[in-house]
Amino acid sequence: MKPFNHYNELVRTGEPVALDASWGQGKTTFGGMSAALALAAIERDHPQDAPLRSISVHFCGPLATDAEFTTSTRVLRAGRSISHISAEIHQNDACATSITACYGTPRESDVQVLAADVAPGEPGAGQRLPYIAGMTPEFVRHIDFSYVSGGLPFSGSKDNHIHGWMRFSDCTSDLTSVHLVALIDAWPPTTLQKLRKVAPCASVTWSLELVASPESLDTPLGGDEWLWYEAQIEEAHGGYAHTTARIYRADGLLLALSRQLVTVYDKR
């Protein structure tokens, strides 16, 4: 069972990569992992001095574990202050994951609006989500979750939100933007708590905006730091759900904004 950093470094060699089964999620690879490794490929081929501002992710098809995949990248446009770069993960001659990353140089501006204050509370407090073989996805072994508010998957909860803590369970380095992408997508879709029995659910598209990239912080994000997560179902009907999330450092600093289109197959 290899940790995240092993594959983060392996992708940067440019050689084909095969993920071990511990990063699986049903019949595919954990989506945050595939998006993060696509971003690592962009950093490999097109290193940027400007901070990462956003990524847009399309989960085009399954990415099998224990099978090799390749990564390719392309600069869509590189301007004086903003650059757009795409990456794709291919396996068996098909695209599994496609991302577009936007990097932007900071500049002086009179517009300044601060995010609302939050008080997450004691880092790591709440109800832990354990790894249970055959019940939880395999990749859960690499992530620590702690629920503070909202329902557990398949609990028939009336809540439309999830609040809780998250961190890597096996990360020994400081967190980078690549780490953050993987970690943010680790939570079960907010829709799963509405179900009373097990049913498939998957992200179709994902948009992530980094309000404060780890590389831009005065104090590094430690690999064992708990991050605060708040997610909300904005609307759900016809087998699709639109969800949003905010991610904070434990001291209340807003790190990222997330939005996903999720599909659920509860009636087949």
Full set of structural domains in the chain with CATH: 4-104+121-264 (2.40.160.210)
| Burial (0-12, 13-18, 19+ Cβ within 10 Å), 152 | middle
Query: pTM for this one?
Result: 0.95
Q: Which distant-in-sequence residues (6+ apart) come within 8 Å of 263 by Cβ?
A: 201, 202, 204, 239, 240, 241
- Enumerate the β-bridge partners of residue 168: 143
Q: How far apart are CA 82 and CA 91, in angstroms?
A: 30
Torsions phi, psi for 244 (to 5 deg): -130, 160
> How confident is the model at residue 244, as a pLDDT?
98
> How confident is the model at residue 250, as a pLDDT?
96
> How confident is the model at residue 117, as a pLDDT?
87
Q: Which two tokens stand for residue 178?
A: 């690549």
Helices (H) and strands (E) counted in the chain, each on its own, are 3, 13
Q: Select from 144, 133, 135, 2 the least CA-distant residue to 65.
A: 2
Rounded to whole angstroms, what are the CA distances from 19 to 6, 59, 92, 144? 10, 17, 15, 20
Torsions phi, psi for 214 (to 5 deg): -55, -35
Contact 249/174 with Cβ under 8 angstroms?
no
> How confident is the model at residue 266, as a pLDDT?
85
Cα first-last separation, the chain: 34
> How confident is the model at residue 268, as a pLDDT?
65
DSSP letter, residue 231: E
Please list the rounded mean pLDDT of every run of 10 residues in the chain (268 residues): 96 96 94 97 96 97 97 96 97 97 94 90 92 86 95 93 96 96 94 91 94 94 96 96 97 96 87
Position 85: which residue type? Answer: I
